[in-house]
Structure 1
Amino acid sequence: VSFGNPERERSIVITGSMFCDLSHRSLIAVTGEDALEFLQNQLSSDVREVSGTRTQLSSYCSPRGRMLASLRVFWRDDTFYLNLPTEILAPTLERLRMFVLRARVSLEDHSLELVRCGYAGPDAGQELKQALGDCPAAVDDALQVGELTVLRIPGPRPRFEIHGPTGAVMKLWERLNVRGAPVGAAPWALLDILSGIPNIYPATADRFVPQMANLQMIGGVSFKKGCYPGQEVVARMHYLGNLKRRMYRLSAATDTIPKPGDSIVAAGKDTNEPSGTIVEAQLNPDSSGVAALAVLRIADAEQQQLRLWDAEGAKVTLDTLPYDG
C-alpha cells in the first residue's frame, strides 16, 4: 500500500519528513490487577520499567526460547498495550490467553479502539513539539499529550509513534500534513531495517532466540528478571557466550524483494544448509537494490561470500547497524 508514488515515498526516508498510517500493525490491550505480573512472567523484557513516560521493545518466546513475536510495550489509560505486526496478532493473542488461568487479567484486540500513525524526519521532534507543545526527547521515552500517546522509537533520524482516538490523531495528521509527506507501510518498514529493529512474521516465528535478532542490544531482553517462557535457553546463551548467529543489515543488487524466511547461502557450501534467513527486506531509498535484515551464521558472515536464495542469487553486501561497534 502506498500513496501513489512508491519511489518518491522511499526517497523521503532519507530526504524529508514523512508520516505513515500504522494500521498494518495491531494492538493487544492488557488490563486488570495482575496485568503487570502477567506480562512480566510472559515477555523477555523487564515490563516493570514501562510507564507513562517509558516504552520498550520486547519479545514473546516459545519454551524453546525462540521468538513467537517481537513487539513494543507501552502504557496508556491504566492499560498495557502490545504493538505488533497484524500478521501475528491472532496466534500471539491466542497463546497469551492460554496462560491467563486464574490471573485477574484481560487481553483484547484493541486495534480498532486506537488509531496509530508514525512520524519521522530530520526535524520531526521540533515539528511535533510545535504541534503538540511537547515531545519525547530520547529513544524509548513516552509522553501523554491530551488524548495522544507519543512514543519515540529508534530511527536513523528522529522517529515517533502516535496513538489515540480517531479525532485527535486526524487533527494532528492535518497539522503535520503541511510539513511531511504521507507514505505507505513499506517506507516505515525500511526505517525498521535501517534501525536494526526486527519484526517477526509467521514465516520466521519460533526460529530465532532473541539474541540472534540482536534484541539484547536494543533493550528487548532482561537477564536480571525472573522466569518467562524460554528464559533458561535465553539465559544459557547469554552466560555461556555461545552465540553462533546474529542479525546483520545487508544490501543486494536485485529488484526482487526477499520475503521473511527466505534463505541466504554461502559460496561453496551446501545450499541445503543455508547460512542465514531473511528477517525483513524492502527496496533501498534510492531504488538501488534491496536493504534487509537477516540472521546469519557469524562465521559465514565474516567470510562475506553470501548470496540471496541460492548460489546463483544476488550477491550480498553487509552494512553496519546503528548499534554495532
Structure 2
Amino acid sequence: MWTRIPSSSLRVTGADRVDFVQGQMTNDLRGAPTPGLVACAFLNVRGQIEQFARAYKRRDDIYLHLDAEQSGPLAARLRRYIIFDQVTVEDLGDTLRTIHLWSEDLPGWNPAGGAAQQFELAGSVVLAGRVNRTGAPGLDLHYLTAHEEAVLAALGSEEGEGPISTLDAARIRAGIPDVTRDGLTGTLPQEIGLDVGGPLPAISYRKGCYVGQEIMARLEARGNARYHLARLVGENLPAHAEVTRGGKVVGQSGLFAGGAGLARLRKEALPGETVEVGGQPATVEPLSAAEPPPSAGPSAHA
C-alpha cells in the first residue's frame, strides 16, 4: 500500500552546501554518508521549531523534503544567511511528488542498502529514503511530477493507494509525530519526541553550532523538559485544541485519527488521568501503551 504525502522541497547546491546547511539544522548532515538521510529541524533563536525536514545528502546536492507549504519560508530563511557562501537554494515547487510505501518492497530498492538510494523506476530516476511513518520502516519515494503516472503504475501493489487518514491513524498508534500536520511548530524538539532516543530523533548534541543550539545545550544539561509527547484517547476529539486539566491549560493536541491523537503535554498530567480537549474528555496514554496493529488490513504493512 502507498499513501500520497503533502509535500514541498528544496534543492541546495554549490561547493559550500554541506557546511552551510549543517550550520542551520539540528542534526549532523556532515557526519551522514553520501548518499545519506537524516531527520532535522530548523529552529529560531529561542530553540523553537520553525520547520522540520528530512535532508538527503547526495553527491551533487542536498535535497530537503518538507511538509506542504514549508519550502517557501525555509528558502527565505536560508537565503538570509547566505553571505560569502557558494550556495544556491532552489524551491522545487510542483516539480516533484512524494508518496510513502508502507513496506520496502519496491523494484530497484535494496533492503540491505543505505537509508537513501537513487535508482531507475519506470524509465525515471527516483529517490527513495527509508522512513518510519507508521511504526515500521517504509519508503518515502520522490519522483518527477511529469513521471507520476508511470511511477505509480510500476509500484505493483495489490492494495494500491491508502488515504492519509489511515497513515495518520497508524503513526498515532505508533507514537510518531508529524510536526506540521500536528501543529507542533513553535515548540521545543525535546517536547515532542524529536530528542535523541525519541520516536522521531532529529537532534545531534555533538555537531557544533547552529541557530538555537545554545537552548538545546541547556536542555541537554538540565536533562528535563516540562512537556513531552503523549497520546490522548477519546471520541470525537477536536484537533489542534487546548488540552486542560482542572481548568488549567496543560498542552495542545495534534490531529486525531482512529480514536486517538498525539499531544504536547505537561508531564504533570499522568497516564490514566482524564483531561479535556476543547471541552471533550480524553484519557492520557503513554506512548508505550499503544495497541499492536491488527494482523490484517492496512496497518499490517506498518
Q: Please give the range of the TM-score, normalised by the shorter of the 2 chains.
A: 0.7 to 0.9
How many angstroms apart in 2 are the aligned matches of 1:149 and 1:64? 34
Alignment of 1:170-185 (within 5 A): 170-185=149-164
Name the TM-score, length of structure 2 as normaliser. 0.83
Higher strand share: 2
Q: Which residue of 1 aligns with 2:2?
A: 19
> Which of 220, 226, 246 is 2:208 aligned to?
226
1:299 maps to which of 268, 279, 291: 268
1:322/1:75 Cα in 2 relative to 1: closer, same or farther (>3 Å)?
Answer: farther
Q: Using a 3 Å threshold, how does the CA distance of structure 1 residues 297 and 192 change in structure 2: closer, same or farther?
A: same
Q: Deviations over 1:108-137 (max 9, x none)?
A: 2113222322111xxx22x31xx22x3344
Task: Write out per-residue CA displacement over residues 19-68 of structure 1, whole angstroms, 9 at most, x where no aligned residue.
Answer: 1222x111111111111111111000011133444211110000000111
Alignment of 1:249-260 (within 5 A): 249-254=231-236, 256-259=237-240
Instruction: Identify the structure with the greater helix proportion.
Output: 1
Which moves more between the two structures, 55-64 or 218-227?
218-227
Kindly tell me the number of residue pairs found equivalent between the two proteins.
281
**How many angstroms apart in 2 are the aligned matches of 1:40 and 1:233?**
17
Bigger drift between 147-156 and 231-240 goes to 147-156
**What corresponds to 1:101 in structure 2?**
83
Confirm or deny: 8 A CA contact 2:135 2:176 kept in the other structure: no
Aligned to 2:252: 277
Give the whole-Å Cα distance in 2 for the aligned partners of 1:150 and 1:230: 30
Contact 2:172 2:257 in 1 (8 A): no
Q: CA deviation at 1:258?
A: 0.9
Q: Percent identity?
A: 24
Letter in 1 for 2:264: V
What CA RMSD, in Å, does the superposition of the two structures yield over aligned residues? 2.5
Contact 1:249 1:321 in 2 (8 A): no
2:224 corresponds, among 237, 242, 255, to 242
Displacement after TM superposition at 1:243 (Å):
1.4
Displacement of 1:162: 0.7
Kept after mapping to 2: 8 A contact 1:60/1:67: yes
Give the number of the structure with larger relative contact order, counting CA–CA contacts within 8 Å between residues 6 or more apart: 1
* Structure-1-length-normalised TM-score: 0.78
Aligned: 1:314 with 2:294: no
Shift of 1:179: 1.8
CA-to-aligned-CA distance 1:239-286 (integer Å, 9 cap, x gap): 1123111112332222x5413xx21111x2x33xx11112x31321xx
User: Cα 1:200–1:104, aligned 2, differ >3 Å: closer, same or farther?
Assistant: same
Give the letter for the 1:297 counterpart. R
State the partner residue of 1:214.
193
Partner Cα distance (2:189, 2:201) in 1: 11
SS of 1:253's equivalent in the other structure is coil
